[in-house]
Amino acid sequence: MTKPDPVYIEALKRLEAKPELAVQIADIMRAHRKRPSKASYEARLFKYHPVRYTILRNDPLWKVIDDSIAMGFADPLVGTGERVLYLLQHGYLTLSDIDVSFYSSETIEDILCMEGAGDESGLQIAEEDWHEKGEQIFDLSQIAALFSETDASDVPFSAINLPYSSFYIYWGAHLEIPSPISHRYIDGCYVSCRDWGTMDRMLELQFTSSFEPNFPWDTCSLICNVAHDANGSIGLMKSLSPEENGDADPTFSSLYADLDQTGFYPAPLAKKWTPALKKALSMAANCLCYLSAENAEVETGFPGDAPARLVLQTNSLKKSERERASSKLASLGFRRIHLCGRATAETLGLSHNTAQMPPHWRRGHWRKQRYGEKLAKTKIIWMSGVLVNAEKGQPAAGHIYIADKK
């Protein structure tokens, strides 16, 4: 590992006393650094928020502030986004002409303030936890349309088996689950299960929204991009302890109920998000039920547009060839993700990036079923309902279950 530049380290030490130095250091670094563009390899997987998060903040100013916190020279309780906001509020940062065509300085301040209308701090915590816990992405976009009318509100959290303590699920903007912001759709969420020792085990969902294709994130400034990202995000938290839920096994419907409780969010967030979240919560619940179901169809691999030859070489018997292929794919912007339900989608005739359904059964529900010796174990199965689009022909399946491979 390269030894940090002592001049840079000394500059970081001075940031707590003089935050404006962050701008000066970033300007020096920026002169030798090219920003990612929409056409760059880095942006291939921009649709996945963890990738998007890194790209939008790929700016020397973010790195300088982040480094000063990571190295203990700045208060770790004040997040990077809040420090960037401080620079704007005190006149150290100015918005470009492109920035102000989308956001005024006052609007950005409203979005990035802790009691405002966005959730930058929640995004940063969720992304950091995702990064620390293995950077797992589950793509359910090919089968998510199956869940659009499936009721998962009565599924208890105890029936959910999370594959990791922190991960990101993506169902896609093509479902057009509306966010409170025009032309943007809730496209996925971070899922974290935290054990806070003497406190409760908590389930956290941090929702993300897609970017409209014409938003010029590659030419907007750092703070404009951070505000735009935060403007489409909100986090929910729920105790998994029966004691905290009236001695009842909490269900997803209890999260829905929390949306209507006075004071659950700061007022601007509640007014903005409460009408939009029920459908997104339902989709998140369905995705988690799918991942919890026995023998759920999940395969780890590269996205379909990754070079087939390199993908094949990642399974080579030769370690050097595997490493070389993986390195090359990474340089091209590809990474391994968990691809869910591809065979099911093919069987049912589901098209990529469409919410249009072939003939199918709608209004299903997840059912909790006990099995095993003395019925001590629990699993969930998906029961589908009425036939939709029958005029287009017969559905591929009347009931859809996650079948035992035996």
Separation between Cα atoms, residue 205 and residue 188, nearest integer Å = 10
Q: How many helices (H) and strands (E) does the chain have?
A: 15, 11
Residue 387 has pLDDT above 70, yes or no: no
If you average pLDDT over residues 35-58, what whole number do you get?
94
- pTM exceeds 0.75: yes
Among 252, 167, 175, residue whose Cα is nearest residue 209: 175
Separation between Cα atoms, residue 230 and residue 265, nearest integer Å = 15
Predicted pLDDT of residue 232: 93
Predicted pLDDT of residue 272: 83
Pairing relation of β-strands 166-170 and 137-139? parallel
Segment 268-290, tens digit of pLDDT: 777 888 888 888 988 999 999 99
Q: Please report, rounded to a whole number, the percentage of residues in the chain having pLDDT higher than 90.
A: 42
Predicted pLDDT of residue 394: 52
Segment 92-111, tens digit of pLDDT: 999 999 999 999 999 999 99
Segment 288-320, tens digit of pLDDT: 999 998 778 999 998 888 888 998 998 888 888
Question: In 10 A of CB 112, how many CB atoms?
Answer: 26
3-state helix vs strand vs coil in the chain, percent to 5: 40, 15, 45
Residue 398 has pLDDT above 70, yes or no: no
- Alpha helices, DSSP H, located in 222-361: 222-231, 252-259, 267-273, 277-292, 308-313, 319-331, 342-348
Separation between Cα atoms, residue 246 and residue 261, nearest integer Å = 16
The length of the chain is 406
Segment 189-242, tens digit of pLDDT: 999 987 765 456 788 899 999 999 999 999 999 999 999 999 999 988 887 776
Amino acid residing at 133 = K
User: What is the domain partition of the chain in residue ranges?
Assistant: 6-134+153-285
Segment 64-83, tens digit of pLDDT: 999 999 898 988 888 899 99
